Structure formats: structure tokens, C-alpha cells
């Protein structure tokens, strides 16, 4: 229902806007009328007798061009510029917008329509030009409202005369013929029947749409009430039939529980049979041992052997060739000096690792090139962000003279 209402609103808006717009043929006629009146006023008293077009007959651009004397090249250029307005307008204007543009706004576009701007600028301060623009508006209104100018006996737009241009003293002369043209335009009848017809069509269309919308609303309300009534009847029917499904569910649940218990009993019986067989087997073994006893002799492997604690040494940085000085070995850990922990396998062999204290790891990571790389290989790449180092595989050394010589590097991993 909501989507239908939105569709109808857009349809009403479309109909209203479509009736308000003016077709391209009427727009072109209005531009031609502006062209004729401007040229008629622009030719002056000398060219007036040679300009044979009567604006009351609404000539098109081709007729206007043939009426302009050949020696008035500037007037021809002005007429051509006005005709170019047609291609700029399109057909997106309504009545008020088109009249405003052709009778007022067009004279202010100095850059695009410079010749028309100059035409208006020369006459701008005269009262006659204001009256001329007012009469232009009247003629445009009548064209848009589809008045039959050619058959109207009161139309006499051909009587337009050249408006006076300000002289050096800032004064203008108004002749009797100008007033005659003014009166001729003012006497044009305003035929509004076509506009009224379009307005009536708008009203009828909108009224029909509103009536259709009302019918849809009533229909939707009836459907909702019918749907609500059906749902209430279904709910009552389900409530009345509720006990029967509950009894069936209870029976089904009981049957499932009995089956589960039976399966468990069967499983317990199978396990009891297996246990009974094992008991019989153990009983036979005990009986056999009782008949043939064997003397108990303690095995040497079962006697625990006491291992002597291995000797631990602590050393600092290795030499660049991977050896350690035995003279720097300590039997007790010294913070700030000890990095590696040696475990003696015998008097000449030992394994080593990095001591797990925070101080030892900090010293090792401070200068890894000197403290770690000569005797260690890392599983990951060193990064200054790491603050811990772990020994994955122990390294091996052998005592030769006064130095512990590297036999196998320790494997380490950096981390946090």
C-alpha cells in the first residue's frame, strides 16, 4: 500500500509538471517574435521603409532575414544572435520562466549575447524601453496562450516604431507613432480558453487519482480486517486441539526413553561378560603361580643409581673465533658479568646455553654481534624490539689447553 501511494504521488507530480511545460514549437515562435520586434526597433528611420516584415503576422527567422536590408550588416548579425537562443533554451521552461527570460534576463547576458546586450543598454534608461519590454511580455503571453493573431482584427504589432536612443544631453524624443504602437499592443485580446482547459484537465486528473487512492485505502483496510479475522480463527482452532498433540508427544518421549534404557542394559551385560572372562583368566594365572612358585631376584636395573650433581660454570662473551677463555669461568653466577651457563659432561667436555636471567639476556641482546653470533644460530631474524632470547638446542664445547673450543653452535630464538 505504501509503494502504491508513493507511485501515485510521483504520477501527480509528473502530470502537473508536464502540463506546465511549454513545447519547443511555442518557444521558437516566442524567440522569432522577440527577433522581429528587436529588428524592427533597431533598423531606424532610414531602414524602416525597407523592413517589410509585419510582426503582427509572426514571421519566422527566414522571413525576418529576407526583410532586413543588405546594407544593415550589424542588424543581420543581431538577428542571427537572437535566433541562436533557440538552441540554448530547449523545452524545459514553463510559462513564467520563458517570459522572464525573453523579456528581461536575456538583455543582461553581456558575454553570450553581446549584441542584444548593447541593443538594450542604449535604451535602458528610457521609459519608452520599459514600456516596450512590457508590451513584449504581453505579446509573449498571447503566443503561449495560443491566441490566433493572424485572425485578430485588433492586433497591430506591425505598428512598432524605433524607440528613441538617449542623446548627449540625456534626453529622448517620443513621437506620436510610438504611442500608437503602445496602444496597439495593449489592445491585444487575452485569449485564456486554452490555459483554462489545461487547468481543468489538471484538476480532473488529480481528482480521479485522489479518488482511486481512497478506493485503494478502503480495499486495503478491508483486506487487513479479513486477514486479522482469519488469524484469530486459526489461533482458536489451534488452542482447542492443543491437548491431543501433547499426549502424542509424551508417548513418543516415553517410548524413546525405554529404548535408550534397554540399549544401556544390553551394553552393561556385554561389559560384565568381558569382565568375567578377565577374572577367570587372572584366577588361572594365580593358581598356576601358586603351584609353581619362582624365587624373586631383584634386578640390577631396578636399583636406583644416585647421580652426582654435574658441575656448572658461568662465562661472559665468547671470543670472535667462537672460543671461551677458561680463565674467565666462574663457579657462581655474577649479575652483569655472566651470560652463558656451562654444564660439564666430564673434565674436557661441556654443553652451554644462555642463562635465563633477565640480566644475561639484556647483555646478550645489547651487542648480539659480539655476544651471540660467534657461538649461536638463530631461528628467526633479530629485531631491536625483542627483549628475550631462548636457547632451543644446547651448544657443545671441548676444553683444549686454556680455551673452550666450539664444537657445535647453540640454536636460539628471539622473542618478547
In this model, does residue 160 exceed pLDDT 50?
no
pTM: 0.36
Cα 135 to chain centroid, rounded: 53
- For residue 197, what pLDDT band results from cuts at 50, 70 and 90? low
Buried (b) or exposed (e) across 345-374, using 16+ Cβ within 10 A? eeeeebbbbbbeeeebbebbbeebeebbbb
Q: Which residues contact 320 (CB under 8 A, 6 or more apart)?
A: 370, 374
For 87, how many CA atoms within 13 A lie in the half-sphere containing its CB?
Answer: 6
Place of cell 648480539: 368
* pLDDT, tens digit (0-9, with 9 covering 90-100), for 292-348: 765 544 554 554 555 567 899 999 999 999 999 999 999 999 999 999 999 999 999
% of the chain with per-residue pLDDT over 70: 73
Kindly state the DSSP code that residue 241 receives in the 8-state scheme.
Answer: T
Residue 343 CB neighbours (<10 A): 14
> Is there a contact between 83 and 31 (Cβ–Cβ < 8 Å)?
yes
Place of cell 488529480: 206
Sheet (strand 349-354) strand order: 312-315, 340-344, 349-354, 395-400, 403-408, 324-325
* pLDDT, tens digit (0-9, with 9 covering 90-100), for 241-292: 555 455 556 667 778 889 888 898 888 888 889 998 888 988 888 877 877 7
In this model, does residue 93 exceed pLDDT 50?
yes
- At residue 370, the pLDDT reads 93
- What are the C-alpha distances in Å from 154 to residues 121, 150, 158, 187, 410? 31, 10, 12, 7, 118
Higher-scoring residue by pLDDT: 176, 201: 201
- At residue 71, the pLDDT reads 83
Amino acid at each position: 500500500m505504501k509503494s502504491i501511494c508513493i507511485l501515485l504521488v510521483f504520477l501527480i507530480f509528473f502530470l502537473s509538471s508536464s502540463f506546465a511545460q511549454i513545447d519547443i514549437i511555442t518557444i521558437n515562435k516566442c524567440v522569432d517574435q522577440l527577433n522581429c520586434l528587436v529588428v524592427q526597433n533597431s533598423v531606424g528611420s532610414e531602414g524602416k521603409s525597407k523592413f517589410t516584415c509585419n510582426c503582427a503576422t509572426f514571421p519566422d527567422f527566414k522571413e525576418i532575414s529576407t526583410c532586413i536590408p543588405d546594407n544593415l550588416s550589424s542588424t543581420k548579425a543581431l538577428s542571427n544572435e537572437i535566433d541562436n537562443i533557440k538552441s540554448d533554451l530547449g523545452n524545459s521552461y514553463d510559462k513564467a520562466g520563458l517570459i522572464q527570460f525573453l523579456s528581461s534576463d536575456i538583455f543582461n547576458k553581456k558575454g553570450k549575447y553581446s549584441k542584444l546586450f548593447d541593443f538594450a543598454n542604449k535604451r535602458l534608461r528610457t521609459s519608452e524601453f520599459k514600456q516596450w519590454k512590457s508590451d513584449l511580455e504581453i505579446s509573449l503571453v498571447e503566443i503561449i496562450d495560443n491566441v490566433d493573431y493572424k485572425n485578430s482584427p485588433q492586433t497591430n504589432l506591425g505598428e512598432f516604431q524605433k524607440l528613441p536612443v538617449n542623446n548627449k544631453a540625456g534626453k529622448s524624443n517620443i513621437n506620436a507613432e510610438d504611442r500608437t504602437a503602445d496602444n496597439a499592443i495593449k489592445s491585444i485580446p487575452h485569449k485564456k480558453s486554452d490555459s483554462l482547459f489545461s487547468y481543468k484537465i489538471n484538476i480532473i486528473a488529480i481528482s480521479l487519482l485522489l479518488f482511486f487512492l481512497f478506493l485503494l485505502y478502503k480495499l486495503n483496510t478491508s483486506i487487513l480486517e479479513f486477514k486479522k479475522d482469519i488469524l484469530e480463527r486459526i489461533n482458536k482452532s489451534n488452542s482447542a486441539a492443543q491437548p491431543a498433540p501433547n499426549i502424542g508427544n509424551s508417548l513418543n518421549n516415553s517410548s524413546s526413553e525405554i529404548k535408550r534404557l534397554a540399549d544401556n542394559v544390553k551394553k552393561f551385560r556385554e561389559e560384565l561378560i568381558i569382565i568375567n572372562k578377565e577374572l577367570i583368566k587372572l584366577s588361572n594365572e594365580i593358581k598356576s603361580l601358586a603351584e609353581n612358585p619362582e624365587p624373586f631376584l631383584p634386578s640390577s636395573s631396578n636399583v636406583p643409581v644416585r647421580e652426582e650433581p654435574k658441575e656448572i660454570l658461568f662465562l661472559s662473551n665468547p671470543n670472535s673465533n667462537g672460543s671461551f677463555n677458561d680463565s674467565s669461568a666462574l663457579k657462581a653466577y655474577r649479575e652483569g658479568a655472566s651470560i652463558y651457563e656451562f654444564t660439564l659432561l666430564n673434565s674436557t667436555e661441556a654443553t652451554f646455553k644462555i642463562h635465563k636471567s633477565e640480566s644475561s639476556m639484556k647483555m646478550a641482546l645489547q651487542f648480539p654481534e659480539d655476544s651471540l653470533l660467534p657461538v649461536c644460530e638463530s631461528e628467526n631474524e633479530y629485531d631491536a624490539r625483542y627483549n628475550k632470547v631462548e636457547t632451543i638446542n644446547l651448544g657443545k664445547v671441548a676444553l683444549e689447553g686454556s680455551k673452550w673450543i666450539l664444537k657445535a653452535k647453540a640454536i636460539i630464538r628471539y622473542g618478547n
